[in-house]
Amino acid sequence: ADNLIPMELALKIASKIRAKERFAIYIVLPMWPEGDPKSGAVQEILFWQEMVVSYF
């Protein structure tokens, strides 16, 4: 995979759970991605961000 951030987050979470340590996760996303807000690409990004955020 090109983006290792999700894997690193998952590994860190798993290690904290195994060690029974308290932990917190803060994920910060930009409110608006770069580009024309009405373009298909930006709308797709916003759609999937909303799906991920609303899942939790």
Which tens digit of pLDDT belongs to each residue from 2-51? 889 889 999 999 999 999 999 998 888 888 889 999 999 999 999 998 89
Model confidence at 56: pLDDT above 80: no
| Confidence band, pLDDT 50/70/90 cuts, at residue 1 | low
Task: Please tell me the pTM assigned to this model.
Answer: 0.54
> How many Cβ atoms are within 10 Å of 15's Cβ, its own excluded?
11
The answer to whether the beta carbons of residues 41 and 47 sit under 8 Å apart is: no
The CA distance from 6 to 12, in Å, is 10
The answer to whether the beta carbons of residues 31 and 46 sit under 8 Å apart is: no
Q: What angle do CA 36, 41, 42 make, to 5 degrees?
A: 50
The CA distance from 28 to 47, in Å, is 16
